[in-house]
Structure 1
Amino acid sequence: MPGSLFPTTRRSVIEALRSGDVEERTRAYDTLAAIYWRPLYKYARIIHGRDATDAEDLTQSLMLQAFERGGLEGYDSRRASFRTFLRVVFDRLIANHDKHAARLKRGGHFDFFSAEVELNLEHATEDPEEYFQQQWIKSLFATAVDRCREALDPLTFAIFESYDLAPEAGVTYTKLARDHGVSEMTITNRLAGARRRFREIALALVREITASEEEFRNEARALFAVFRLRDVAVRPDFEGTRYTLVREIARGGMGIVYEAIDRELNRRVAIKVAGTQSRIEAELIAGLEHPGIIPIHDAGVLPDGRAFYVMKLVRGSTLSETPHGVAEAVRLCVRISEPVAFAHARGVVHRDLKPSNIMLGEFGEVLVMDWGVAVAGTPGYMAPEEERTPRSDVFALGVLLREFLARENVPRRLRAIVTKATARDPNDRYASAREFSEDLVRFLDDQPVAAYPENAVDVLLRWVHRNRALLAVIAAYLVMRIVVLLIWHR
């Protein structure tokens, strides 16, 4: 790497920890703790096989030792990197630790439970140095991301986060431009600026926690050998709340959903984390109490400024397979339409109805998610007009029904319903999801539908279809009578 990429003006944490100034030492300790507490805890758990309580005590012991003036004496930058030195000191601390001594909790603010959860998702290498380096890189990147979030304006960070940190499948500059209402050139420029700022912040952090130019260069090279930022970014900080994250459930353009534990009520919940739109969505859903809409339990703002809301955890899957049979497809579309119609009656438009926003619960529930926060919608399901109204949702419902029926022999009356729902002119569509749903129910009940004006032949055919059982009995009776008469006349 060219020398110009490496900042040289920031005072090293190692030097500051030796300072007689308590404030300077405290600032240095905060930086050291932010980078190292999680790698140290995991190192004790995985490499040394200590239980969670031991690992907590040992990690906090080393952190206290680092804070004390002279606590890390003996470090020589000519012999090893500070990271390696700290690991060796930790090894010695663990070796001298008496597991049977009375343990004294030393306090602290580290969320050890979240690190414990992460251990269940990781596979450790057998090389202690390699494992510790991996955890160090993850922690340093996470700290750099937090500082970058503070340094960048919200739009630039949102673009950076969507494309580099937590991209959904198929994210493109075109999609980002559409989602944020800007040009692709703006996306390109903002992303380049964010990457440059992130690199500056990350390198400044490395400068803070290294003691020599050579160590700095080596650690910087190790850091930027990681190409995918999202592979090392850790999850949101829920410290100070009643929730502990367990795992990521889903992610998309509107945010990330996690499974979490509500420690106060001892139950599993789902938490959605996003920007300000998450708060808007929470407020919308809170006013929509319907069996087809997942209820909101709580909402708040994280230390990094992102909003989150807590909802019921529903086991199931999104709508990935189309139903089999015309009647089943229509019934499913009616059930999807019910919560949408309920929302329309209260002035709320969904804006982005599509299979991935519809969940089928393990007990047969049909739930509509991600309410009212999309800027435009999803191509293929998005109505052609710019203004989002209930008729825009009707268009998406019509597209869903058309997809459900793609492999079926569709009756003319049902084809007419789909055509009316997906008309290009909003005025030619159903005015609301309720009107659309009511026409589908009439179709299921073999009644006249609003989308299809019937002639006399249609009325007759529908009457025959509706009374086919009775007609079959009459036909059987007539055949029997004819047979009896023929036998009688012989």
Structure 2
Amino acid sequence: MTIDHSEHSKTERGSFRLDETDKALALHWKSGSLKYSQFELLKEGGVAKLYSCLDANLRRRVVYKTLHDRLIDDEIEVQRFIREARVTANIAHPGTVPVHELGRDRNGVPFFTMKLIHGRDLREVITSLKAGEPNTLRIFTLSSLLKILIQVCHVLAYAHTRGVIHRDLKPANVLTSQFDASYVIDWGLAKVWGDPEHSNPRMTGQDDPAITPVGRRYGTPLYMAPELARGDAQIDARVDVFGVGHLLFETLTHQNLLSGETVEEVSYNLINKPLPRPSDVARTSIPHQLETICIKALEKEPKDRYSDVVTLADDLSGFLRSLPN
């Protein structure tokens, strides 16, 4: 599901090897987590770890995501982890990462496996653009970046038709591959319409841990929509409109939209202070039409935003068409 900078990634991009594809399938073949080997750590966060590994039966490398051992008894984290796998698996779109398997290892720790994608996340791209890295500047022009955001809108639009709101959009959750495909990842905080969000009271309404958890803060405060920061009981797909607007802001300015030393300060600023315009913080000029699109997507009141991500994508596409070839 993510970038593999290891030696395996360099060899995997070449031709198939006959000795691998034609290798006999063992009579006593391995199943579940036992069929995975050659683990290499890709990324480690506070909740989960991602590895690239070899599927012994299909002879291909995949991404293996697993919870930290210390969280195996944390009911909410386990529920969230399983939800991420199942939601992702059920949003069958070219812009979501295929999920191969969900299970538990021999120690009872949940895991799921996904397609291994070679590419970069948008956070890395923006960081490189801000640093003036020549190759990134050459590849990720304004047109190519807008095309990525339009693809993100299409993924979200499909998810919305399936009754799913992502609600945790941020640059790190957008992957762009070497073949110009873009993916929206990390659906662990997704809101599923009609789902009571589990029987645990910490998973419902005002107590949704993505908003106001007991004892600790979940989600990504720097990327929350105002209604999430306020803890509104009712949210809709316009949460993701704000999320795309936030991505557009950072793509244009290479700066953070929100600021604050603490979660509470970030939330207070988001709810009570005016948001900056892209032209206020950008080091280069911002096309007026594009800034207008960004500002509309970032309206604090959902009713003042684009009604859906499709309309937002249409305006981005219209701007693209206006650019000289």
TM-score, normalised to structure 1, is 0.40
- Decide which of 321, 346, 369 is 2:125's aligned counterpart: 321
- Decide which of 407, 410, 427 is 2:303's aligned counterpart: 427
Judging changes above 3 Å, is the alpha-carbon distance between structure 1 residues 439 and 269 closer, same or farther for their aligned structure 2 residues?
A: same
**TM-aligned CA deviation for residue 441 of structure 1:** 1.1
Query: 1:18-67 CA deviation, whole Å, 9 max, x = no partner?
Result: xxxxxxxxxxxxxxxxxxxxxxxxxxxxxxxxxxxxxxxxxxxxxxxxxx
Secondary structure in 2 matching 1:241:
helix
Q: Which amino acid aligns with 2:313?
A: S
Secondary structure in 2 matching 1:364:
coil
1:311-460 pair list within 5 angstroms: 311-319=114-122, 320-322=124-126, 325-373=141-189, 375-376=210-211, 377-386=219-228, 387=232, 388-406=235-253, 407-446=283-322
**TM-aligned CA deviation for residue 246 of structure 1:** 1.2
**TM-aligned CA deviation for residue 430 of structure 1:** 1.6
1:133-152 pair list within 5 angstroms: none
Match of 1:276 in 2: 79
Equivalent residues of 2:81, 2:188 under 8 A apart: no
**TM-aligned CA deviation for residue 254 of structure 1:** 4.4
Q: Give the Cα separation in 2 of the matches to 1:440 and 1:294.
A: 24
More helix by share: 1
Q: Give the Cα separation in 1 of the matches to 2:38 and 2:189.
A: 24
Judging changes above 3 Å, is the alpha-carbon distance between structure 1 residues 332 and 284 closer, same or farther for their aligned structure 2 residues?
A: same
Q: Give the Cα separation in 1 of the matches to 2:312 and 2:321.
A: 15
1:12-411 pair list within 5 angstroms: 241-274=34-67, 275-319=78-122, 320-322=124-126, 325-373=141-189, 375-376=210-211, 377-386=219-228, 387=232, 388-406=235-253, 407-411=283-287
**TM-aligned CA deviation for residue 325 of structure 1:** 4.6
Note the residue ranges of structure 1 that are not aligned, 5 or more in a row: 1-237, 447-464, 470-490
Q: Give the Cα separation in 2 of the matches to 1:372 and 1:428.
A: 28
Judging changes above 3 Å, is the alpha-carbon distance between structure 1 residues 351 and 306 closer, same or farther for their aligned structure 2 residues?
A: farther
Q: Which amino acid aligns with 1:345?
A: T
Aligned length: 212
Judging changes above 3 Å, is the alpha-carbon distance between structure 1 residues 302 and 431 closer, same or farther for their aligned structure 2 residues?
A: farther
Q: Which amino acid aligns with 1:341?
A: A
Equivalent residues of 1:276, 1:307 under 8 A apart: no
The structure, 1 or 2, with the larger RCO (C-alpha pairs under 8 Å, 6+ apart) is 2
Judging changes above 3 Å, is the alpha-carbon distance between structure 1 residues 414 and 444 closer, same or farther for their aligned structure 2 residues?
A: same
Q: Give the Cα separation in 2 of the matches to 1:239 and 1:416.
A: 50
1:2-17 pair list within 5 angstroms: none
More strand by share: 2
**TM-aligned CA deviation for residue 239 of structure 1:** 8.2
**TM-aligned CA deviation for residue 437 of structure 1:** 0.8
**TM-aligned CA deviation for residue 369 of structure 1:** 0.8
Q: Which amino acid aligns with 2:90?
A: G
Equivalent residues of 1:254, 1:373 under 8 A apart: no
Q: Which amino acid aligns with 1:310?
A: T
Moved more, 387-396 or 336-345: 387-396
Secondary structure in 2 matching 1:371:
coil
Q: Give the Cα separation in 2 of the matches to 1:243 and 1:299.
A: 13
Judging changes above 3 Å, is the alpha-carbon distance between structure 1 residues 392 and 264 closer, same or farther for their aligned structure 2 residues?
A: same
Query: 1:229-253 CA deviation, whole Å, 9 max, x = no partner?
Result: xxxxxxxxx9862212511111224
Judging changes above 3 Å, is the alpha-carbon distance between structure 1 residues 389 and 408 closer, same or farther for their aligned structure 2 residues?
A: farther
Equivalent residues of 2:33, 2:103 under 8 A apart: no
**TM-aligned CA deviation for residue 285 of structure 1:** 1.1
Q: Which amino acid aligns with 1:404?
A: T
Q: Give the Cα separation in 2 of the matches to 1:423 and 1:364.
A: 30
TM-score, normalised to structure 2, is 0.59
Judging changes above 3 Å, is the alpha-carbon distance between structure 1 residues 241 and 440 closer, same or farther for their aligned structure 2 residues?
A: same
Judging changes above 3 Å, is the alpha-carbon distance between structure 1 residues 408 and 290 closer, same or farther for their aligned structure 2 residues?
A: farther
Query: 1:399-445 CA deviation, whole Å, 9 max, x = no partner?
Result: 11111111442222221110110111111112222221112112222
Choose 1 or 2 for highest CA Rg.
1
Match of 1:197 in 2: none
Secondary structure in 2 matching 1:333:
helix
Q: Which amino acid aligns with 2:66?
A: V
Note the residue ranges of structure 2 that are not aligned, 5 or more in a row: 1-30, 68-77, 127-136, 191-209, 212-218, 254-282
Q: Give the Cα separation in 2 of the matches to 1:312 and 1:249.
A: 14
Q: Give the Cα separation in 2 of the matches to 1:240 and 1:411.
A: 51
Secondary structure in 2 matching 1:310:
strand
